[in-house]
Amino acid sequence: MPRRRVTRRKPRRKVTLETQNAKYRLANKVELIRPLNLKPLSVMKKFVFYNTAEVLNDTSTAGNAQQTQFVQHYLNSPWISSDETYARPGAATWRWNKPMTVHTDNTAANLGNAFPGMFDQPSSIGYRYQNICIVGAKFKVTAQPLVDPNVGPKATAALFAQVNAQGSQLDTNTRIDDLYEMPYTQLRKIEGGQNNNGDLGGNTKSASIVIKYSPKKFNGLTNIKDSSKMAAINNVVANTGYHPQEKDRIVFGIVPVLTNPTTNLPMVKILLQVKHEVTVLFSEPFSNYNRAPVHVMADASTQTDLASGDFSV
């Protein structure tokens, strides 16, 4: 009887994740180390701005008519204040704890109200990068009515906030009915605080509005970094700053609730609190003529292009 041939199976090689993934093996062999003296091409930081104001309405210099009071702040710029033309109509006042000043283009970056920590010191991060882009924001405004026992009853007021991209079309004659017809607008009634019933018992209720802002969604962009007009420019040679060419703003203030019949009573005195939080992307221009992004330092010859919003070098 012929002898049966016995074959042995070749031992199966143990396959691991490391042997299957070529990228993993390459990563273990190649290691790129960034020099300590070379800053990152981009960095993301969070900043918070907080301020408080006393808003006092007055009708004595406006033909005994109520005056809508409001201010404008930028949502996509490192400099906050935009316009306070209608904050103090007539004898009305709007007193900030920290004075608000507007930054104008091609002036020193530390002029105007910027977010704390951005341009405070020569070594601050705002001076180290040319492109400053707001990628997200959260804005909260709270209005608390104040009781003044030395003054008689006041008219009922409402807190409002509106986001716009073309600049505010409001004025002191704007009424609450107009605001209800406008998009991206929120209103909250301020309760108590010497309303028409003359209640001085201090039974008040604050009004608060929270707005979450995304420049990408608000402007219909696929990638915020692809639009050069959405970023502010820092001239690293002259240390001057430029607002983004496309500016988004938030308008907030107080407006009378009753418009028919009209009343000659001023609105209730308001303690206004503002908290503005932003996420900021600091970056440098990139060269488009290389196979890989290469850090390009700006000089005086490129600042004109950067100020105009052209990020290419």
pLDDT at 198: 44
Q: Which domains does the chain have, with CATH numbers?
A: 38-307 (2.60.120)
Instruction: Please compute the mean of the pLDDT values over residues 7-26 and round it to a whole number.
Output: 60
Q: Write out pLDDT tens, residues 64-89.
A: 566 789 999 999 999 999 999 888 88
Q: Write out pLDDT tens, residues 228-280.
A: 889 999 988 888 999 999 999 999 999 988 877 666 777 888 999 999 999 99
pLDDT at 295: 37
| pLDDT value at 221 more than 80 | yes
Instruction: Please compute the mean of the pLDDT values over residues 207-214 and round it to a whole number.
Output: 96
| pLDDT value at 288 more than 50 | no
Under 8 Å between Cβ of 241 and 78:
yes
Tokens of 278: 């932003």
Q: Is the peptide bond before 183 cis (omega within 30 degrees of 0)?
A: no
The amino acid that residue 141 corresponds to is: V
Phi-psi region of 192 (alpha: psi -120 to 50; beta: other; left: phi over 0): left
Phi-psi region of 90 (alpha: psi -120 to 50; beta: other; left: phi over 0): left
Strand partners, 240: 108, 235
Q: Write out pLDDT tens, residues 38-55.
A: 778 889 999 999 999 999
Q: Write out pLDDT tens, residues 194-208.
A: 544 444 455 677 899
pLDDT at 19: 54
Under 8 Å between Cβ of 127 and 203:
no
Number of helices followed by number of strands (H, E) in the chain:
5, 13
pTM of the complete model: 0.76
Instruction: For residue 189, give the nearest of 248, 266, 256 by alpha carbon.
Output: 256
pLDDT at 73: 96
pLDDT at 38: 75
When pLDDT is cut at 50, 70 and 90, the band that residue 119 belongs to is: very high
pLDDT at 303: 39
Instruction: For residue 68, give the nearest of 217, 259, 249, 253 by alpha carbon.
Output: 253
Cβ-in-10-Å burial (0-12, 13-18, 19+) of 97 comes to: exposed
Report the alpha-carbon distance of residue 259 to residue 312 in Å, rounded: 53
Under 8 Å between Cβ of 251 and 70:
yes
Instruction: Please compute the mean of the pLDDT values over residues 219-231 and round it to a whole number.
Output: 85
Q: Which of 2-6, 48-52, 160-164, 267-271 has the lowest mean pLDDT?
A: 2-6
pLDDT at 54: 94
Report the alpha-carbon distance of residue 99 to residue 108 in Å, rounded: 18
Instruction: Please compute the mean of the pLDDT values over residues 139-145 and round it to a whole number.
Output: 94
